[in-house]
Amino acid sequence: MEAEEQRGRRRGRIATVMLGIAGAVLALVTAAPADAKSQGSTVQITINVPAMVVDNLCNADVVNLSGDMTITTTTTPARNGAYTVRTSAVANNLRGQRIAPPPMIGYRGDDRENTYSYIAPPPYPSTHQVVHWTALIPEGNAPRMYLVLVIRETTTADGTTIPVFERAYLVCKQPACSAKKV
């Protein structure tokens, strides 16, 4: 019974985390629209992760996490009328503290950029679901966990790709960046 209650509380905290992240998307920060020659663009969004409590599902640590993750999407024309979309994610200031069980230890994002490229074929608009992640590294004796962000990217006929935050979740095993046509 006690284990079932703990799982229920974790699920509730995870749902709260995902809603907190979803409500924290700042917006389009920078957009360089397509020009007539390049028919490509660069768009950047910053997803703000407010101070929130998350469960490290790998070891049951409860961690207070905050910071920003920036997604940069660059679109360039391909020879066949499609666009090559290069999408990168980096979380330079993601930080946290274990608040339970004692002793307190810090967590930090790995500050590495991960990049994934895919082809956005016509007809336009062309929409893809893209997966990015960042490692959350404990500064003590605990396993890593990974914050996974799912972004919906829509490429228009002029080569502009617009990323929109869709959802986030935590996993214990390093995921792969990916994209699939929606």
Task: Check residue 12 and give its pLDDT.
Answer: 45
| pLDDT (mean) for 161-179 | 88
Q: What is the domain range of residue 37?
A: 2-181
Q: How far apart are CA 116 and CA 154, in angstroms?
A: 15
Task: State pLDDT tens for residues 35-64.
Answer: 334 467 899 988 887 787 878 778 888 888
Task: Check residue 181 and give its pLDDT.
Answer: 92
Q: How far apart are CA 28 and CA 67, in angstroms?
A: 17
| pLDDT (mean) for 131-142 | 88
Number of domains in the chain: 1
Q: How far apart are CA 94 and CA 92, in angstroms?
A: 6
| pLDDT (mean) for 150-174 | 90
Task: State pLDDT tens for residues 95-111.
Answer: 988 888 888 889 888 88
Are 176 and 148 in contact by the 8 Å Cβ rule? The answer is no
Residue 135 confidence (pLDDT) above 60: yes
**What's this model's pTM, rounded to 2 decimal places?**
0.74
> Cβ contacts of residue 141 below 8 Å, gap of 6+?
105
